[in-house]
Amino acid sequence: MKKQKTDYFKAVILAGGNGERFWPLSTPERPKQFLRVFGGESLIRQSVNRLAGLVRNEDVFVVTSRALVAATRRELPEIPESNIIGEPMRRDTGAAVALGVGVAGEGIVGFFPSDQMVADPTGFRHAVATAAAIAARQPKIVTIGIKPTFPATGFGYIDPATKRFVEKPGEREAKAYLKAGYLWNAGMFIASADTFRTAFEQYAPALMPLIERPSANLAKVYEGLPKISFDFAVMEKSKEVDVVPGDFGWDDVGSFTAFDRYFPHDSRRNVREGPCTVVDSEDNICVARSARISLLGVKNLVVITTPDSVLVADKSKISEMKKLFK
Amino acid sequence: MKKQKTDYFKAVILAGGNGERFWPLSTPERPKQFLRVFGGESLIRQSVNRLAGLVRNEDVFVVTSRALVAATRRELPEIPESNIIGEPMRRDTGAAVALGVGVAGEGIVGFFPSDQMVADPTGFRHAVATAAAIAARQPKIVTIGIKPTFPATGFGYIDPATKRFVEKPGEREAKAYLKAGYLWNAGMFIASADTFRTAFEQYAPALMPLIERPSANLAKVYEGLPKISFDFAVMEKSKEVDVVPGDFGWDDVGSFTAFDRYFPHDSRRNVREGPCTVVDSEDNICVARSARISLLGVKNLVVITTPDSVLVADKSKISEMKKLFK
């Protein structure tokens, strides 16, 4: 076993989104991490920026899909081109994390989603640095646990007392988790490369080829890999887990309803982006990227237009966007 | 007083629509009467066609707005160009009927809206011929009264017993009218030119210049005219009125909800025209004329796209379309 080098910190940005949840503003060719609607810069740009000071450019890696490598390199010109790796096909976050461990090679490695918002980057860096320090001292995978603001069913949870990871709950469970003080699993994991390696060896040996030979013919390797999330493959099984609580205005920007949090509202709680005429309507999100949108007498809708597509969805059904692509 | 010539029948098509009720499919430049969505031919084309056999081409007149004269001539090439008259500004149907009487000059003259549907044209012609025969024998304005199918608040009514014309009612009144056997005033009026002239002289003398000098400088004349409907100016006041009941599948195609009557539905009662993806949605009218529309979890909406505009309206509010243009 190689001696752990813990004197520097590496970051792997996971950018495997497929553009469905913000369709039609985002598309498979331009998924959520490239969206510029939140804060002016793309979400992936913000994800890299908020690591400033914690990690050197040559120690930032991005795991994305092959089709997005060129766009990602354009978006992040300061990152060495060879650090931006394209997966030949989607095999969920299990494979993406394993590949990230493989390309990072050694040191303390942090995994970060490419499509989240953080209101307080200093608080974020403090939490990450704390997690990295723990990971440098102990053979544990440290996650940042976010204090929940509502009983979300779209995230996994962590019990900070037992360090137990649990999958996305149903609504009743989610409420119980909130009461019990569970934290959200925000998909951020920090450990030494060796600790990740040991965990994969023990819990997901099928993914080891990605760690051992990350520059092999990936197309051939990926074909045989299971589709499995890193949470399910490793975190829910491992006992060597720790949690650093984080309270830095985290937001996963999970769907169009995030517009309600980031855009100003009119007097009837409508969000308007672009040319929107709104009459006798309330609580709508109206984003006009081509033709003018006119709303008349409607409530709780998400209406998005691009030159190619018009989406009209009830806010309460927006989490079921995938159904449109079947 | 000139001797009445009753040996031939003339028709004046009133085509003054402003394109609001079917916006954005219709526009001020392409109002409802040019819509081809119902039955393949434009509504004005259908309005002329269904008079076939009752009236010669040279006895068909159209009163429209100046901006629409050229488009109307293109749409109705068999009608003499000089029979298609443009009003310099909108002064409601009072002025349009007066101008029509002026240009028709003599004979029995029938006024017909340009934007209605008739399922049974033979039944329509029979009712019109009956009305024309009455108008040839008696100095009366004869209207076609349509048997109501629901307590509409968008039409005036006629009491066939008393021949009394009443304005568009409220909901409670409308129900009472239905019980009392009242008929819908469908905006069709048949009388000799002399009878119309006499009625205008008596009830709306301000409009007489249009009858007496229909080829004068209309721009100047119109400026001073009152905005008043023919119903209000004449029909609600005149005692010389008769009614021929009509039951020929009449439909005023008054708003997008007419699509529910003329288009096929899917199993969840959605009407789809053009590329529409519909998921977990019911009772919607979806008309895609440019970008694909995707509906997710919505009900009772009218969603229309054109290259310039997207309309998203609740069906129950569709009668308030005018509010969008304020």
Domains of chain B as residue ranges with CATH: 9-251 (3.90.550.10), 256-325 (no CATH)
How high is the pLDDT of residue B296? 98
How high is the pLDDT of residue B3? 44
B52 touches A: beta carbon within 8 Å: no
What tens digit of pLDDT does each residue of B154-194 get? 889 999 999 999 989 999 999 999 999 999 999 999 999 99
What tens digit of pLDDT does each residue of B205-214 get? 999 999 999 8
pLDDT beyond 60 at B314: yes
Distances (CA, A) of B300 to A150, A276, A297, B277: 31, 21, 11, 16
Contacts of B238 (CB under 8 A, 6+ apart): B141, B199, B202, B203
How high is the pLDDT of residue B319? 86
Provide the token pair at A164.
């137990």
What tens digit of pLDDT does each residue of A247-287 get? 999 998 888 988 998 899 999 999 999 999 999 999 999 99
Comparing alpha-carbon positions, the chain A residue that sits nearest to B277 is: A324
How high is the pLDDT of residue A7? 57
How high is the pLDDT of residue B36? 86
What CA–CA distance (Å, rounded) separates B181 from B161?
9
Question: Which of B298, B304, B320, B322 has the highest number of chain A CBs within 10 A, making it the mutation to test binding with A?
Answer: B298
pLDDT beyond 50 at B88: yes
Inter-chain CB proximity A312 and B312 less than 8 Å = yes
pLDDT beyond 90 at A39: no
Comparing alpha-carbon positions, the chain B residue that sits nearest to A320 is: B296
Inter-chain CB proximity B320 and A297 less than 8 Å = yes
Question: How distant is the Cα of A294 from the closest Cα of chain B, in angstroms?
Answer: 5
Average pLDDT over residues B281-285: 98
Query: Residue A269: helix, strand or coil by DSSP?
Result: coil
What tens digit of pLDDT does each residue of A145-191 get? 999 999 998 889 999 999 999 989 999 999 999 999 999 999 999 99
How high is the pLDDT of residue A269? 97
Reported as half-sphere exposure (CB side, CA atoms, 13 A), residue A256 has a value of 33
Inter-chain CB proximity B296 and A310 less than 8 Å = no
Give the global pTM: 0.85
How high is the pLDDT of residue B28? 87
Comparing alpha-carbon positions, the chain B residue that sits nearest to A277 is: B324
Inter-chain CB proximity B295 and A313 less than 8 Å = yes
What tens digit of pLDDT does each residue of B134-161 get? 999 999 999 999 999 999 988 899 999 9
pLDDT band, residue A133 (cuts 50/70/90): very high
Of A222, A191, A15, A207, which is closest to residue A98 (Cα–Cα)? Answer: A207
Inter-chain CB proximity B294 and A311 less than 8 Å = yes
Q: What are phi and psi of B108, to 5 degrees?
A: -90, 125
Of B322, B325, B326, B323, which is closest to residue B21 (Cα–Cα)? Answer: B322
A268 touches B: beta carbon within 8 Å: no
How high is the pLDDT of residue A66? 94
How high is the pLDDT of residue A162? 93
pLDDT beyond 50 at B4: no
What CA–CA distance (Å, rounded) separates A128 from A144?
7
pLDDT beyond 70 at B303: yes
Question: How distant is the Cα of A276 from the closest Cα of chain B, in angstroms?
Answer: 9
How high is the pLDDT of residue B7? 57
More confident residue, B261 or B315: B315
B292 touches A: beta carbon within 8 Å: yes
pLDDT band, residue A5 (cuts 50/70/90): very low
Question: How distant is the Cα of B257 from the closest Cα of chain A, in angstroms?
Answer: 14
Task: Enter the ipTM.
Answer: 0.84
Are A72 and A44 spatial neighbours (Cβ–Cβ below 8 Å)?
yes
Question: How distant is the Cα of A87 from the closest Cα of chain B, in angstroms?
Answer: 30
A1 touches B: beta carbon within 8 Å: no
Average pLDDT over residues B227-234: 94
Average pLDDT over residues B295-313: 97
Average pLDDT, rounded, for chain A = 93
Inter-chain CB proximity B310 and A323 less than 8 Å = no
Inter-chain CB proximity B296 and A316 less than 8 Å = no
Average pLDDT over residues B223-248: 94
Find the CB nearest B309 among A280, A294, A296: A294
A320 touches B: beta carbon within 8 Å: yes
Average pLDDT, rounded, for chain B = 93
Average pLDDT over residues A81-107: 96
Residue B253: in which H helix or E strand, if any?
A: none
Q: Which residues of B touch A310 (CB under 8 A)?
A: 288, 291-294, 303, 305, 310
Average pLDDT over residues A304-318: 95
Q: Which residues of B touch A308 (CB under 8 A)?
A: 291-292
